[in-house]
Amino acid sequence: MPKDLIFEIGTEEIPAGFIPKALNSLEAILKKNLEASRIGFDEVRTLGTPRRLSLIIKNLSDKQPDISTEVKGPQLKAAFDANGNPTNALLGFVKSQGVDIKNLKTVKTEKGEWVYFDKFVKGGETSAILPEILKNTISQDFFSKSMRWNVYDVSFARPVHWILALYGGKPVDVSYGPVKSAPYTYGHRFLAEKDPATSRLKPIEVTGVESYIENLRAAYVIPDPEERKKIIIKGLEASAREVGGTLVPDDNLLEEVTYLVEYPVVLRGSFSEEFLKIPRDVVTNAMREHQRYFTIIDSKGGLMPYFLTVANTLAKDMDVVRKGNERVLRARLNDAKFYYELDVKKKLVDRVENLKGVVFQAKLGTSYEKVERFTELAVYIGSKVGFSKPLEEGEKASDFLSDSFNPAAFDSKNTDPGLYSKFVVGRAAILAKADLTSGVVGEFPKLQGIMGSVYAKKSGEADEVAVAIYEHYLPNVSGGALPASLPGAIVSIADKTDTIAGCFSVGLIPTGAQDPYALRRQALGIIATILDKSLSLRLNELVDEAIRLVGKKATRDKAEIKSNILEFFKERLKNQLLTQGLSFDSIDAVLSAPWFDIVDAVNRVKALEGFKKHPACPSLVTAFKRVSNILKGADFEGKRPQEALFKEAEEAALYKVSSEIAPLIEGYWAKGDYEKVFETLASIKDKIDAFFDKVMVMAEDADIRQNRLILLDSIRSLYFKIADLSKLVV
């Protein structure tokens, strides 16, 4: 009869960020172990708090099913000698399997006759198998970081203090290091009942799923994360309404605090309205990043002088807790106010010089040198995408520090648009990192870019420049928001490309899980931004320019650097397209052709996905695979077939139709109409089929053979620059 299993691992406080992933891994590992052991179950429910990871398995089978399998022995001719007596091979087989020779049978296969026997395996009792399954589950490495303790050869995110393992209400013996399982759990560290004699938490007896959850509730533990989250949301929203405000949603912070507490208690505090005079982002960052506080806004969207926090305890006097939180926040906001008021006394442009004292990377120099590089790169990008004019001869990055290059000094309506745009891009880039030397960013690092934008406006910079300074950090997380403005997108691409080119130039290439400069994320950000803005920007040319600007700081061969960077981008693009549901073979076909214009390459992949549904596609792909195999290693660039050497009508017909569609394909390609390209290509299906049916490509006559190879090369050239269609799987 199926029974429920409760498995809880009690620990010291586990970091909040570890818990969701650990619960998912724990569930997956236990499911895998149960399935491998042929033990059925209905569902697995995960529960977790900072001090416990729990699994509840509903209706776990009480035993394994009996199974019958065929066990293969030696080949028949090796099992018996010429006199029909069993050989040593057969005797060894029956001994190892514990079977009588009389129970063997022979089975004919494609590879001859073999000796088999039917093996019956009786299913074991689940209660006897579970200890090993649970021990194996807890022993798996499912944390990004683990620790070891004492002399025991075991590891976990934090030391394990207790294990609860109960199947059908009866204990399951599980050991992990010095800890042995027992039918007990423990309540909230501070609120649950303690033994007066030892001041230790009293163990809570568990007899089943219902008693487990209800007894924990009584001991001030809400084990279900989703239930805790609902309690927190309800409390936050109610508390915000009490002061006439609205909670500012913050899903990431909500997720974090859910796993910081076992018994959530929402508390509201306040701070002086004088702090509302400093930028809102400074106040909210101090509350969120340092204190894990939620914010409240009024009906007009303005920040209110209150904060909401989620405590993990119900104190006798919550007012004391409130005042303690207010005191800590006041200190943080006083720091922020002090640095902000000091920062605004200095123009943002005057801070750039200080970047000469900030090391970006030992081999790549200072942040000032980096800014110089990506400022020139940004202006280069702007000119390549048709947004702005390029640098004139003799112009350099530092020129944009001059007031004569400040867009705020110009009337954008009466200034040449390309020149004005160049000033915006160059000015934004040269000022992009200046806020790194400000007091606020030194105290609150996550405000870089945000404060640069604020200080730019305070310094009288053009609005477009201020926006681009903020946006150049975007996307700052995987899948995060992208720059909305084109100048912001251009400076973002330039900054990230310079970082990648610089790191690859001095050998700082990501390996395995090691990526200290987040180059993978930055490459994905570049790709996403280019696609979002539909920028016609050739990546190979961009990388060339970025490597040129790195200059003498490079310690590796430039050709190798470029090759490595482009392959790095190619892998990121391939993975991104796969996550969008595009087929691997379509992606591979396009990325085997020139792919450096990313927008164009993605359009080709999508068009190719449609072409695979064309009725002519399968036979064409078969033919193109044959063309690629025949031409492997051959190079006939610039050569055209000689019609005088055609001996068969089919080769002349193929040449005629390919010559007719070549200019059509070229025209569609130039327009980016790849659906028409592939549709036109499909029109040669019958001619190419007939060619391979009737024409011997590898003719004995060397001239005829070469002429036919050149003809096939001209066919390949119709599609090879768009996609290597021989890569398709149809």
Kindly report, residue by residue over 77-87, the tens digit of the pLDDT. Answer: 888 887 888 88
Give residue 155's domain range: 3-63+125-218
485 and 498 inside one domain: yes
Q: What is the pLDDT of residue 125?
A: 87
Report pLDDT digits (tens) over 489-537.
Answer: 999 999 999 999 999 999 999 987 788 899 999 999 999 999 999 999 9
* pLDDT averaged over every residue in the chain: 91
Does residue 146 surpass a pLDDT of 90?
Answer: no
Average pLDDT over every residue of 670-683: 88
52 and 75 inside one domain: no
Tokens 């992933």 belong to 21
- Domain assignment present for 576: yes
Average pLDDT over every residue of 430-458: 95
Report CA-CA distances (Å) from 614 to 31, 617, 619, 658: 43, 5, 10, 19
306 and 393 inside one domain: no
Of 169, 193, 218, which one is at a domain's C-terminal end?
218
Q: What is the pLDDT of residue 614?
A: 87
Report pLDDT digits (tens) over 702-730.
Answer: 999 999 999 998 888 888 888 988 888 87
Residue 201: which pLDDT band, with cuts at 50, 70 and 90?
very high
Does residue 440 surpass a pLDDT of 90?
Answer: yes
Of 581, 607, 624, which one is at a domain's C-terminal end?
581
Of 121, 139, 155, which one is at a domain's C-terminal end?
121
Average pLDDT over every residue of 342-349: 96
- Domain assignment present for 266: yes
SS3 120: strand
Q: What is the pLDDT of residue 432?
A: 97
Distance of alpha carbon 421 from alpha carbon 546, whole angstroms: 21
Q: What is the pLDDT of residue 270?
A: 96
139 and 113 inside one domain: no
Report pLDDT digits (tens) over 375-404.
Answer: 999 999 999 999 999 999 989 999 999 988
- Domain assignment present for 688: yes
Q: What is the pLDDT of residue 145?
A: 81
Q: What is the pLDDT of residue 231?
A: 97
Q: Residues 682, 689: contact at Cβ < 8 Å?
A: no
Q: Residues 555, 503: contact at Cβ < 8 Å?
A: no
CATH code of the domain covering residue 620: 1.10.730.10
Report CA-CA distances (Å) from 172 to 128, 164, 167, 637: 9, 8, 7, 74
188 and 242 inside one domain: no
Residue 624: which pLDDT band, with cuts at 50, 70 and 90?
confident
Does residue 437 surpass a pLDDT of 80?
Answer: yes
59 and 82 inside one domain: no
Q: What is the DSSP letter of 532?
A: H
Q: What is the pLDDT of residue 296?
A: 97
Q: What is the pLDDT of residue 62?
A: 86
637 and 723 inside one domain: yes
Name, of 132-141, 485-494, 631-640, 650-659, the range with top average pLDDT.
485-494
Does residue 559 surpass a pLDDT of 90?
Answer: yes
- Domain assignment present for 321: yes
Residue 154: which pLDDT band, with cuts at 50, 70 and 90?
confident
Report pLDDT digits (tens) over 477-493.
Answer: 888 899 999 999 999 99
- Domain assignment present for 400: yes
Does residue 239 surpass a pLDDT of 80?
Answer: yes
651 and 714 inside one domain: yes
Residue 182: which pLDDT band, with cuts at 50, 70 and 90?
very high
322 and 416 inside one domain: no
* Amino acid type, 536: S
- Domain assignment present for 352: no
Does residue 69 surpass a pLDDT of 90?
Answer: no
For the chain, the domain total comes to 5
Residue 416: which pLDDT band, with cuts at 50, 70 and 90?
confident
**Closest residue by Cα to residue 165 from 181, 145, 153:** 181
* Amino acid type, 718: L
- Domain assignment present for 305: yes
CATH code of the domain covering residue 177: 3.30.70.260
Distance of alpha carbon 129 from alpha carbon 257, whole angstroms: 38
112 and 176 inside one domain: no
- Domain assignment present for 205: yes
pLDDT exceeding 90 applies to what percent of the chain? 65
323 and 427 inside one domain: no
Q: 416 versus 110: which is more confidently predicted?
A: 416
Can you give the three-state secondary structure of 367-386, one letter per residue?
Answer: HHHHHHHHHHHHHHHHHHCC
321 and 441 inside one domain: no
Does residue 120 surpass a pLDDT of 80?
Answer: no
Does residue 225 surpass a pLDDT of 90?
Answer: yes
pLDDT exceeding 70 applies to what percent of the chain? 100
The H-assigned helical ranges of 37-165 are 76-79, 88-97, 126-139
